[in-house]
Amino acid sequence: MTVGSDLLSKVEHINELQFGKNGGDLNINYEDLVKLNDEKELFVSGDGDSVVHMNKNEWHSTGVVASKGGAQYDLYVYQEDPQAEIWVQHNISVV
């Protein structure tokens, strides 16, 4: 399943996206994130077949790793707004 701006624009007040066992693709940008919730924070989890697509000129990995529910997450922040955070489960590819 691919989740992009078209679908993300229809949901709000979520802070976690979990892909099932068949994996999925998330295409996300800053505008999508700020529409999802007031905290500008999203956790993305799933299996190793999942991929998060984000503009790496705008988003960068901080090197911070956190544990939530027994899973490890890597933190990505938006260059222009360090309060905007996307936490990606460690086994998910980010491109």
Q: Using CA atoms, how far apart are residues 21 and 23, in angstroms rounded to an integer?
A: 5
Tally of domains within the chain: 1
pLDDT value for 48: 75
71: domain range?
A: 2-94
Q: Using CA atoms, how far apart are residues 56 and 58, in angstroms rounded to an integer?
A: 5
pLDDT value for 23: 85
pLDDT value for 43: 96
pLDDT digit string, tens, across residues 64-73: 999 998 999 9
Strands in 71-78's sheet, in edge-to-edge order, are 16-18, 41-45, 81-89, 71-78, 59-68
Q: Which residues in the chain show pLDDT less than 50? A: none
The pLDDT mean for the chain works out to 89
Of all residues in the chain, the percent with pLDDT exceeding 90 is: 67
